[in-house]
């Protein structure tokens, strides 16, 4: 009943437009989390245009080692983007300690990041931190390689589409038990 009233009196056009516009962003963030079980949370801030990926390490890493890794990561992303004909104009890498855990935050411009760059980042983190890098057990062992490849291809297409039609909504995606949840903030 209320849907009828909203359609009749409420001007659903604006509501529907906002919902339809948010949907690609929700799908994009969910796909990042599905494709990369190493990423614990992902967010998008439309004002800065930054996509932030959060990783968790068990234990702590000395500050000088984290700084060296941050430089290595920045150089690796710049080199990768240069080889692919892209650019890496902005990258923010921060970290914080929380009772035996470290939270790593990597922010990149949404209009520059690619699925392969995210894959490179995850591989570098895995190579450097190994078992200390927290990986979602529900997403790490997807048995169907074809399904996994389809997810990565879909993510790549969504990242390309976002360059043509930027997202307007502030979004946050997190892992919650065995699910991926995306909030429109």
Residue with structure tokens 């502030």? Answer: 170
Which pair of tokens denotes residue 3?
Answer: 């849907």
Print the domain residue range for 119.
Answer: 2-184
Burial of residue 161 (CB within 10 Å: 0-12, 13-18, 19+) is exposed
Span between the terminal Cα atoms of the chain, in Å: 27
> Would the pLDDT of 176 be above 50?
yes
Q: Is 143 exposed, middle or buried (0-12, 13-18, 19+ CB in 10 A)?
A: exposed
Rounded to two decimals, the pTM is: 0.82
Instruction: Check: CB of residue 86 under 8 Å from CB of residue 79.
Output: no
Domain count for the chain, please give it.
Answer: 1
Q: Give the model confidence (pLDDT) of 103-150 as tens digits.
A: 999 999 999 999 999 999 999 999 999 999 999 987 655 557 787 788
pLDDT in tens, 79-89: 999 999 888 78
Please write the tens of the pLDDT for every residue from 29-57. Answer: 999 998 999 999 999 999 999 999 999 99
Average pLDDT over residues 63-67: 96
Residues of the chain above pLDDT 90, percent: 54
């Amino acid at each position: 009943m209320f849907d009828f009233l909203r359609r009749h009196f409420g001007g659903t056009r604006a509501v529907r437009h906002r919902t339809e516009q948010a949907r690609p962003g929700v799908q994009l963030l969910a796909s990042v989390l599905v494709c990369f079980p190493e990423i614990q949370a992902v967010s998008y801030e439309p004002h800065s245009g930054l996509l932030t990926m959060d990783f968790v390490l068990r234990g702590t890493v000395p500050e000088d080692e984290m700084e060296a890794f941050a430089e290595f990561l920045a150089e690796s992303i710049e080199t990768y983007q240069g080889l692919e004909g892209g650019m890496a104009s902005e990258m923010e890498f921060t970290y914080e300690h929380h009772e035996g855990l470290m939270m790593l935050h990597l922010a990149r411009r949404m209009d520059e990041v690619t699925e392969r760059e995210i894959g490179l980042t995850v591989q570098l983190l895995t190579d450097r931190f190994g078992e200390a890098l927290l990986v979602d057990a529900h997403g790490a062992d997807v048995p169907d390689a074809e399904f996994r490849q389809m997810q990565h291809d879909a993510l790549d297409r969504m990242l390309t589409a976002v360059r043509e039609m930027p997202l307007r909504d502030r979004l946050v995606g997190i892992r919650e038990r065995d699910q991926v949840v995306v909030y429109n903030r």
